[in-house]
Amino acid sequence: MKMSAPIYHLKRKAKQLSRAEDIPLHQALDRIARDEGYSGWSLLVAKAEPAAPAGKLFQRLLPGDLLLVGARPGHGKTLMGLELAVEAMKTGHPGVFFSLEDTEENLEDRFRAIGVDRAQFQHLFEFDGSDAISAGYITERLASAPRGTLVVIDYLQLLDQKRENPELSIQVHTLRAFARERGLIMVFISQIDRSYERSQKPLPDIADIRLPNPLDLKLFDKTCFLNDGKVAFQAAR
C-alpha cells in the first residue's frame, strides 16, 4: 500500500497533531496510520519501504568514535540517535540515552515512532534524564560500561548550561578520551544555527552547527546531517 507521504513527513504530521490536540504522540501516530489505511503505526512502519539510514550509519561506526548528528527542530535528529541505539542493541551491545531535554515518557513515544517495542531491549537500554548530566556525570555513570556500548547525548549545547560545569570544549575532550579508553561509541545530538534556514543548501553541514560557546569540531570523528528526509554522513576530518 503506497503512503501519501514519506514516513518522516508522516512523523512530523503526527507531532503537529499531538501538539494541536494535546494528545500523546503514540495516539497521534496511530491516527495518522489509520488515515493511511493501516490499523496502527507499528504496522505502517513494518510495511514501509525500507529506508532506514541508521542501519547503514551504524555499520560505519567504530568503538571510540564520536559522532555529531545535526538538524533543525523536527527533522529527526533525536530519532536518529535513538535508532542508532537500537541498532547497537540488535547486536547485543547496550544503548544509553542521556537527555537534558526529553523525559522518559517522551522517549517511549519516540520508540513507538520508529516502530520499536522498547520491552525487547529492556535489559540493554537505559535512559537518564538527570539535571546533573555533564561529562563528569556521564563518565561516572558509564564507568563499568562494556566495550561497544552506544551512548546518545541529547544535546551537545546543553552540556555546559550550568555555570558549575566545565566549558563545553573541556567536556567534549573528556568524553572523547573516555570513549577511546573504554571503546564506547558516543553520539552527540546537536542544534543547527537558524541562519541555515536562510541558505540555499539542501542539507546543513559542519559550518552550520550552533556554537554559543567555543568548541573545536575536529574533536568529532564523524558527522551526520539531516533535512527533509535527506541524510548526509561523512568523516569529520
Tens-digit pLDDT profile for residues 172-196 = 999 999 999 999 999 999 999 999 9
Q: Is residue 169 part of a domain?
A: yes
Do 87 and 180 reside in the same domain of the chain? Answer: yes
Residue 18 shares a structural domain with residue 99:
no
d(CA 176, CA 187): 11
Number of domains forming the structure of the chain: 2
User: Are 31 and 84 within one domain?
Assistant: no
* Residues 22-33: tens digit of each pLDDT: 998 888 989 998
Same structural domain for residues 30 and 58?
no
pLDDT at 12: 82
37: cell is 489505511
Residue-number span of the structural domain to which 31 is assigned: 7-47
- On whether residue 168 sits in a domain, the answer given is yes
Same domain, 28 and 125: no
Same-domain check for residues 14 and 42 = yes
Decide if 230 is inside a domain.
Answer: yes
- Say yes or no: 18 and 129 in one domain: no
Q: Is the pLDDT of residue 236 over 70?
A: no
DSSP one-letter string for 152-213: EEE-GGGTT-STTSPPHHHHHHHHHHHHHHHT-EEEEEE-B-GGGGGS--SS--GGGB--SS
Could you tell me the three cell numbers for 90? 540488535
Q: How open is the CA angle 154-32-188, to the nearest 5 degrees? A: 10
84 shares a domain with 42: no
Is the domain of 167 the same as that of 223?
Answer: yes
Residue 126 resides in a domain: yes
What are 43-59's pLDDT values in tens digits?
787 676 545 689 889 99
pLDDT exceeding 70 applies to what percent of the chain?
96
What are the pLDDT digits (tens) for 92-140?
999 999 999 999 999 998 998 888 989 999 899 999 999 999 999 999 9
pLDDT (0 to 100) of residue 44: 82
pLDDT tens readout for residues 186-224 = 999 999 999 998 888 999 999 999 999 999 999 999 999
Looking at the fold, whether 60 and 133 belong to one and the same domain comes out as: yes
Whether 111 is covered by a domain: the verdict is yes
Amino acid at 54: A
What's residue 48's pLDDT?
66
φ and ψ at residue 67, rounded to 5 degrees: -110, 130
Give pLDDT tens digits for 134-162.
Answer: 999 999 999 999 999 999 999 999 999 99
- Shared domain check, 125 and 91: yes
Establish if 153 belongs to a structural domain: yes
CATH number for position 120:
3.40.50.300
pLDDT at 205: 95
101 and 36 in a common domain: no
Asked if residue 1 is part of any domain, the answer here is no
- pTM as predicted: 0.82
